[in-house]
Amino acid sequence: MTSEAARNALTRAIRRILLEHWDPHGLAGTPGAGDAYGEEVREILALLSDPAITAGRIAHYLEWVERNALHLQPRPGAAKAAAARLVALPHPDADVAED
């Protein structure tokens, strides 16, 4: 798999996790939801490029988004659940074996 293909797969995985485990707008399962949370996906991709990133830091970011960008009441349980799955994803800058 090329580096670009790996990054695209990681981007899709981040978006899927956000929709399945965080999703403050309740968009999962709706038409067009595959394009949801683009800014958050990009920021999380950047956060994951730090090998020392923690689930706590990602959860804090997701709670910040809910409170300050979306003007919603943060849901710490949802942010923590998503963050735990996000930090388990492969590091975006890890060496990728060629197919």
Give pLDDT tens digits along the chain (99 positions).
Answer: 568 888 899 999 999 999 999 999 999 888 888 788 999 999 999 999 999 999 999 999 999 999 999 999 999 899 999 999 999 998 766 544 443
Torsion of CA 16, 22, 28, 34, to 10 degrees: -40
- The per-residue pLDDT for 97 is 44
The predicted structure's pLDDT at residue 33: 81
pLDDT for residue 44: 97
DSSP classification of residue 70: S
Name 69's Cβ contacts closer than 8 Å, sequence gap at least 6: none
The pTM (predicted TM-score) of the whole model is: 0.85
